[in-house]
Amino acid sequence: MTTYDIQNYLLDRANIHDTVTKMSMYLDMSRIEALKKEVFHTKVLVDYTSMFSGEPKLVNGEEQVDSWAKQISKMDSWQHVTTGILIELPQPGAGVDVPETATVLANCTVNLSRKGAKGDSDTRNGGRYHIELTRTNQAGNPWRISKLKADLVWAAGNWDVYSAMD
């Protein structure tokens, strides 16, 4: 048994926060290769059912990034904001094992614009991410997203902007 000390706890929190923040920032900055390398686990359970119905899907992390890159390439502008990042990890101390997974609850908003969409060119929505991260053997920051669920809370604007994402 390895004791989970305060230094490792604080480093894990910082690394997890960075991984979650990179998910939105790297996508918005079109840093696709960094998004593939630094954010997602090899397999990711993605759940957008509250927005688009269907079923959660287990996908390859790189395939998820490629799907997002294809979708945003059809937009004229986009911004994803992830904030209020609450990280759940065990408190450090004697007899506490180093965690292999962590969960995150965060608020998120998305703004998309596509000229030529039927009706208004903008759509916006907001909700919450429920994220699970798994510790990997990667050098540097070892935390990668292994589950991503988006729960829609509100939506405004023209939902047809999403039709370009098919």
Q: What are the structural domain ranges in the chain?
A: 6-93+100-165
What are the tens digits of pLDDT across the range 66-105?
999 999 999 999 999 999 999 999 999 989 999 999 999 9
Separation CA 24–CA 79 (nearest Å)? 8
Higher-confidence position of 106 and 166: 106
Sign of CA dihedral 103, 144, 161, 48: negative
1 exposure class (CB count in 10 Å sphere: 0-12, 13-18, 19+): exposed
Please check whether the domain covering 6-93+100-165 is classified as CATH 2.40.50.100.
no
pLDDT at 97: 93
**pLDDT exceeds 80 at position 2:** no
pLDDT for the residue numbered 166: 55
Nearest one of 80, 130, 77 to 109, comparing CA atoms: 80
Q: How far apart are CA 106 and CA 81, in angstroms?
A: 10
- Taking residues 51-68, report their average pLDDT: 96
Position 1 confidence tier, pLDDT thresholds 50, 70, 90:
low
Q: What is the pLDDT of residues 108-147, one digit of tens each?
A: 999 999 998 888 899 999 999 999 999 999 999 999 999 9
Specify whether the CB–CB gap between 119 and 162 falls below 8 A.
no
Q: What is the mean pLDDT of the chain?
A: 94
